[in-house]
Amino acid sequence: MPASNTARSYGSLAKTFHWLTVLLILTAIPLGIISNRLPFETGDQLAFKALMFSLHKTVGVTAFFVALARILWAISQTKPAGLHPERRAETLLAELVHWLLYGSLVLVPLTGWIHHAATTGFAPIWWPFGQNLFFVPKSETLAATTAGLHIVFERVLMISIILHIAGALKHHFIDKDDTLRRMLPGKTEAGTPHPANKTLPIVLALVAWIAAMGVGSLLGLYHAHSDAADRAVLEEVNSDWTVETGTLTLSITQFGSEVTGSFEDWTADITYAAKESPGSHGTVRALISIGSLTLGSVTGQALGPDFFDASTHPTAQFNAELVYQADGYIAEGALTIRGITVPVRMPFNLTVEGETADMKGRLLLDRRAFNIGDNMPDEGSLAFAVNVNVALRATRTAN
């Protein structure tokens, strides 16, 4: 049979695109549902969950490119006529469902792909072009928004699929016409060409998507969800040095990929006075709100009972002396996480100009020392090493 459509039949290429899309979508959706419901309490469970999510994402990206190719081909082709042009409401509904399908087949994988690129996590897309999109920044806000849109558009897609299947079955078993047979292998010609309303179905599809996005907004799907009870509110400190700006970040390695996050809320009570001789030049007492951590797509897991256990241990504390030695500064003291105190030594660089000090330090920790991730005893799923970086600018507090 010919590859191109005619006014009364679909060509082989249109049929191939149709059934390939069916296969990809009916694979991707169950994979996504199953992946979300899988437990991740052990290393093996997390590895299997990551495998399933990678399958879901890879099939989804494949469906995105197939959908684009299908739409471009459909636009370039004659659309076979409907079999019942006298049924105007039914014909309009069929066209509306087709546009919802076409648009959703692009929007669902695209929003999922942007979410993947905007965040960091443990389930890569299996292809050789990297995990990022050049126009998508790493952003928790963007990731939360696109995650919500992905859910909304998926629901529109599923409703459209159900309506599409119901319509095909209605034509086949009730009307007993050739609507379904025209998309099966072989050449089936049916229908009389007639003018069709090309604008109204598109307008109605846009209205449907906008309405769906509105429902998603009312449900709060576009915001990152966190448990406020697990996020400790820190009191202001009276310090000799006031932190004006600063970042506290950490990096872990999960399944061989680096995942970087940061703590939004922390305080530092700093005393410091430069001296000519080596020794203690001051002290620091830092308090960190564990619940303020963002760590890409694994934030919820990191705050859970097997890791930071933010609900039970809402803060971490670092107490140290600021010691000057011949080779530079070291913050020597103790770090308390999950109620476990471990001695630590953090080298840091310090530059003081007048009343302003800039400091940068790096601390290498072993998660096992704090009983973090004991359910993952090997480094295949989660490396033992955790890199912590701190950078701040502080000004001397006026007396």
**CB burial of residue 396 (10 Å; 0-12, 13-18, 19+):** middle
- Cα-Cα-Cα-Cα dihedral of 141, 143, 144, 149, to 10°? 120
Q: Give the pLDDT of residue 228.
A: 46
Give phi and psi for 317, each to the nearest 5. Answer: -135, 140
Predicted confidence (pLDDT) per residue in 270-316, tens digit: 999 988 789 999 999 999 999 999 998 889 889 999 999 999 999 99
Tell me the C-alpha distance between 261 and 296, whole Å: 7
The pLDDT score that the predictor gives to residue 83 is 85
Mean pLDDT (the chain, rounded):
92
pTM of the prediction? 0.84
Residue 251: name the closest of 112, 364, 381, 394 by CA.
Answer: 364
Q: What is the DSSP letter of 342?
A: E
Q: Is the pLDDT higher at 224 or at 265? A: 265
Q: How far is CA 389 from the centre of its chain?
A: 24
Q: Which domains does the chain have, with CATH numbers?
A: 12-218 (1.20.950), 229-396 (2.40.128.110)
pLDDT at 300: 86
Strand partners, 259: 252
Summarize pLDDT for 158-211 with one digit per residue, the tens. Answer: 999 999 999 999 999 999 999 899 999 888 887 776 666 679 999 999 999 999
